[in-house]
Structure 1
Amino acid sequence: MSVFQLNNGYPLSTHEVKDFANDLTLYGIPYQECEHWLEVGNCELRNNYTLFISVLSQQAQSLLHQVLPVLKVHAVSFRLLKNDRLVDQSNGLTMGAKDAGKVIVIYPLHAKQARQLAHDLERVTVSFMGITPYESLRIGKVLYTALDSGVSYHIPAVYRNKRRKGIIGKYYIPVKLLRFNPKGDIYLGVNIKQFSFTHCIIKQARAASFIDRYGRESAHKLFWQKSVLEQIQHELPVPQVIDFCSKGEDHYLVTSYINGQLLPDRLKGIYRDRIWREIELADKVKILGYFLQITESIKRLHELGYLHRDIQVNNFIIRGDTVYLLDFELAYYMPAGTPDPPFGYGTVMFMSPQQRQGEQPAPEDDIYSIGVVLAYMILNPVDQESFSGNIYNALVNAGLEAKLLDVIILCLDPDPANRPSLSSIITILKTGDIPENIELV
């Protein structure tokens, strides 16, 4: 499929939510509800034999009609997401990368049952597609198990993981996996064009890893990111586009390599297990200086007509003392209203309420995210999972100065109209007395 074409070979999702409880009832399978799951049997089993079935939301209900009879015959415990909207959200990573793609989780009692189930399920699921779940072993077309299952499966050669990706395009050799993503991995690579042998970043859009309700795949988002970067790469500190190419059915964006630290790693090096009130004035100046750069970059991005829509701490990398902005797949160009509709799914804890509800993109969405980033930079949590709860109390307990606290409170206001402008935030940072005697220039 050309990246310039929509894949019209798949049925498009609609806004009508398809609940899977009716499908279980149709096959006479009793179930109980537990959060966003429908559970059958004992789903508290904890062994290494667990199987996962991944599927695109457009195909989920059809897959159920193939899989449910097999699961019923084996009388095996399992759970599945309640509806196709949750499947879409899971595949879109809004439930977290570790659980993405695990649409049906099956709990065999022993290795023999696991092997027989794998055989029977593969036979009825070969026509379906899904994303690759985190830290899993592929044993079928959409069937996976834990890496350390200890079960010996017959895995067809086409599904076996290749140790090396080989050359991408004509000139790019992946040398190290930097980050696994169900929709496409990110590699550190070497660019051998004209014998330059320079490092580069290779970002993959895995074929058939995600299709939204409008028929757009991961490759469309990756190509959009390329287009955005080409428009802004001479105006902002961002990676430079080197190439866009394909290998097999996968697509790849190749960009310049920024040899630096992700923002959370840089923060940990500054704080060294201390909290905001305990660090030196010079360290506070450095942290707020990074935040000032972030705010100024987003302001300039908006002036160029773009919203970022995925402002979160792992999308900033610091080389020297310069903050670079990453990941423009969800960007939105305001003058033309493109892409139409906007690509969905940002990073949950950093998204505004309006973005979570799918409302029309607006600058205030990025301002909300800016406020969350500042709160993160002040609190320096152990990880994103622990960055929750009463953030206000945590900020006060950390000794955050009143004007900075006010900035965060205003940015996180549920009403977008009450959020401050980026210019006003920059003015406060440059001329305010927060902390005392700090001057950011």
Structure 2
Amino acid sequence: MENQAIKDFASVRDDYAALLEEHSLKYTIDNHYLICKQAVVEDYIKVYLSVVISQLPTLLQLMTPEFVQLGLGFGMVKNQSSAKLVLNGYLGAEHVGKVVIVFVPNGMEGLLQRLVRLTADFYGPRVPGMVQLNDCVFIDRSEKGEGINCQMDHIQVPIDAADPAVSFIAPADTGKEILRQINDAHEDIGADTVIPVSFIDQIDTRQNTSGQCNPVNRGSDNNSVLTDQAKTGSKIKTKYRDVSPAERNKKPRIQVLADKYIVLSELKSDPKGDVLKALYLNKYLLPVWCIIKEGKKYMVSDSAGRDMDDRLNWQQHIYYQLASVVHIPKVFELFQQDGNTYLVMEWIRGISLRKVIDRVYKGRSWKEITRQDKIKLLELLLEMIQMIDRIHTKGFLHRDISTANFLVGRKGKIYLIDWELAFDLNAQYPLPPFGFGTPGFMSPEQNLGRLPSVKEDIYGLSALMLVFFTGIRVKNLSKEVKEDMTGFVYGHTGMENITGLIGRGLDKEAANRPGLEEIREQVRSLIGDLVR
């Protein structure tokens, strides 16, 4: 089922159909794709062309006449909106990068070399589970699961054209050695050992002939890993084998990034890049928990040619600008490895705002929770309003105010996280603004990519208030509730002033939304009434 993000971006226009009609090609529409089968071929190889959104029109203009001349069946995304859904992972990780599909009949594998040459100047996200020929061309494994054997010896392919879903862990014994250094350092200062020896011994250091540990499949969308890779030269033959359930259920091996970050768990799997929890070995050999935000190469590339690398660089810049203004997880480092970008941040011991609210409501309504619980929630809300005000005073917008992006620490300290959509009002940067956001908390104008204003954060804050006063999950709002938001909020709270405030804050017209000061005073007044 398509999620809300897909519905928000979906378009009924067939922007790229005109290109097919220009060549007098008949086509069918299959969901987000235009399919043109010039000839019925049963035995074929699927070839995928992946390209960033800014290069897509040029690629289609170049390749469509080639497909026509060669009589190849092919498919392409039907419009730019569908292309964004495919490229950014909103249709699922298994569809990432598949903006063009070419059906190459068996026996015509020589065409692959021509495709590689024609697409040499194009690049796009890696297609999960596929063999990579260049930055644009990827080959599917065989339908029967017997592995690709396309007589590809004549095709010049980079030696690292491995399955992109496979991530190599550290060289042999590196992970163990780092963990042992941590323990040795703790013994030197009389501290307890933080990593059990039994855990260290779980690290798999079996080597292949390339000198690297065996690959661990992290985030793959199929049950296969590479098993046969050429050891020298630039030509490769590749076969896949199915992984048994027993192998898939093995305990994960340790991954080490930048020779000092020991990845111990995956907090979030995301096509644009995973969120990892790791131990950071600092210069004193004392372990520090950290969060590593991964930006996969060429993912979430926009019309300006910016991708996850630009977003994570921007997020680091925001930290240096606002770390003294509001509580933000400390940034340790930004680095690149294997073409991906990694932002390393402080691990905050806390819980999400969503969990805090759930623990208060416990299935009850605002009318049913205690006066003390109401005060607790309102004081928390007031502090968040103050944080947003300080950000605006400094000349910045957050643009992703949501329950997921506030963390409450052990001592009640509130952190605002996930700054990649932020906007600098004074510098009017970045332009165009970075796209997307959290469905339900994102204003209509932000969804349309318009010039940011403080009213975007007011909309997000108003959606946040809806959660504070009703306990509902915004993504679960039915069509009927959205059409009668006033009745819904009043039914839960019985407060006309709050009902009107939230209703105006969620108005589709930005000019009709209240200012931050009005919202703050209303919340303060409500706290005062409850305290008296």
- TM-score scaled by structure 2? 0.64
Seen in structure 2, the aligned counterparts of structure 1 residues 103 and 216 have a Cα distance that, compared at 3 Å, is: same
Give per-residue Cα distances to partners, 1:265-321, cap 9 Å, x unaligned. 333333333343443333333333332222111111111111111222221122233
Do structure 1's residue 302 and structure 2's residue 392 form an aligned pair? yes
SS of aligned partner of 1:349: coil
Asked whether the equivalents of residues 87 and 101 of structure 1 are also in contact (C-alpha less than 8 Å), the reply is no
- Alpha-carbon offset, residue 367 of structure 1: 0.6
Gaps of 5+ in 1: 1-16, 42-48
The residue correspondences of 1:65-214 to structure 2 (distance < 5 A) are 66=63, 69=67, 80-88=76-84, 90-92=86-88, 101=96, 103-104=98-99, 124=115, 127=120, 128-131=122-125, 137-140=129-132, 151-154=145-148, 157=162, 159-162=164-167, 164=169, 166-193=255-282, 194-214=284-304
Do structure 1's residue 334 and structure 2's residue 425 form an aligned pair? yes
Do structure 1's residue 57 and structure 2's residue 53 form an aligned pair? yes
- Alpha-carbon offset, residue 258 of structure 1: 0.7
Give per-residue Cα distances to partners, 1:95-135, cap 9 Å, x unaligned. 57668736549799xxxx999999988984675533357xx
Do structure 1's residue 347 and structure 2's residue 438 form an aligned pair? yes
Q: 1:416 aligns with which of 498, 510, 525?
A: 510
Asked whether the equivalents of residues 316 and 325 of structure 1 are also in contact (C-alpha less than 8 Å), the reply is yes
Asked whether the equivalents of residues 50 and 105 of structure 1 are also in contact (C-alpha less than 8 Å), the reply is no
Give per-residue Cα distances to partners, 1:215-264, cap 9 Å, x unaligned. 32321221111111112112211111111222232222111111222222
- Alpha-carbon offset, residue 83 of structure 1: 1.8
* AA partner of residue 283 (structure 1): D
Give the equivalent residue in structure 2 for 1:280: 370
Give the equivalent residue in structure 2 for 1:9: none
Seen in structure 2, the aligned counterparts of structure 1 residues 426 and 204 have a Cα distance that, compared at 3 Å, is: same
Give the equivalent residue in structure 1 for 2:187: none
Distance in 2, Cα, partners of 1:244 & 1:312: 25
- Alpha-carbon offset, residue 23 of structure 1: 3.3
Seen in structure 2, the aligned counterparts of structure 1 residues 143 and 400 have a Cα distance that, compared at 3 Å, is: farther
Give the equivalent residue in structure 1 for 2:212: none
Seen in structure 2, the aligned counterparts of structure 1 residues 382 and 421 have a Cα distance that, compared at 3 Å, is: closer
Q: How many residues end up aligned between the 2 structures?
A: 404
* AA partner of residue 207 (structure 1): K
Asked whether the equivalents of residues 132 and 163 of structure 2 are also in contact (C-alpha less than 8 Å), the reply is no
Asked whether the equivalents of residues 132 and 183 of structure 1 are also in contact (C-alpha less than 8 Å), the reply is no
Gaps of 5+ in 2: 1-12, 38-44, 150-160, 171-254
- Alpha-carbon offset, residue 202 of structure 1: 1.1
State which drifts further: 170-179 or 189-198: 170-179
- Alpha-carbon offset, residue 90 of structure 1: 5.0
Asked whether the equivalents of residues 57 and 88 of structure 1 are also in contact (C-alpha less than 8 Å), the reply is yes
Asked whether the equivalents of residues 100 and 182 of structure 1 are also in contact (C-alpha less than 8 Å), the reply is no
Asked whether the equivalents of residues 435 and 449 of structure 2 are also in contact (C-alpha less than 8 Å), the reply is yes
* AA partner of residue 272 (structure 2): K
Seen in structure 2, the aligned counterparts of structure 1 residues 114 and 410 have a Cα distance that, compared at 3 Å, is: farther
Distance in 2, Cα, partners of 1:211 & 1:181: 15
SS of aligned partner of 1:351: coil
Distance in 2, Cα, partners of 1:115 & 1:294: 61
Percentage of identical aligned residues: 25
Distance in 2, Cα, partners of 1:83 & 1:69: 19
Give the equivalent residue in structure 2 for 1:44: none
Seen in structure 2, the aligned counterparts of structure 1 residues 100 and 301 have a Cα distance that, compared at 3 Å, is: farther
The residue correspondences of 1:22-41 to structure 2 (distance < 5 A) are 22-26=18-22, 29-33=25-29, 37-38=33-34
Give per-residue Cα distances to partners, 1:392-422, cap 9 Å, x unaligned. 1443443453222222112112332332221
Seen in structure 2, the aligned counterparts of structure 1 residues 160 and 250 have a Cα distance that, compared at 3 Å, is: closer
Seen in structure 2, the aligned counterparts of structure 1 residues 28 and 399 have a Cα distance that, compared at 3 Å, is: same
* AA partner of residue 395 (structure 2): G
Asked whether the equivalents of residues 87 and 99 of structure 2 are also in contact (C-alpha less than 8 Å), the reply is no
Seen in structure 2, the aligned counterparts of structure 1 residues 305 and 32 have a Cα distance that, compared at 3 Å, is: same
- TM-score scaled by structure 1? 0.76
Distance in 2, Cα, partners of 1:138 & 1:431: 59
Distance in 2, Cα, partners of 1:431 & 1:178: 39
Do structure 1's residue 313 and structure 2's residue 371 form an aligned pair? no
Give the equivalent residue in structure 2 for 1:216: 306
Asked whether the equivalents of residues 73 and 102 of structure 2 are also in contact (C-alpha less than 8 Å), the reply is no
Decide which structure has the larger Cα Rg and report it. 2
Seen in structure 2, the aligned counterparts of structure 1 residues 69 and 340 have a Cα distance that, compared at 3 Å, is: closer
Distance in 2, Cα, partners of 1:394 & 1:118: 61
Give per-residue Cα distances to partners, 1:60-116, cap 9 Å, x unaligned. 34555648949x96868x6x43223542465456x57668736549799xxxx9999
Distance in 2, Cα, partners of 1:202 & 1:295: 28
Give the equivalent residue in structure 2 for 1:10: none
Distance in 2, Cα, partners of 1:217 & 1:202: 17
Distance in 2, Cα, partners of 1:268 & 1:347: 19
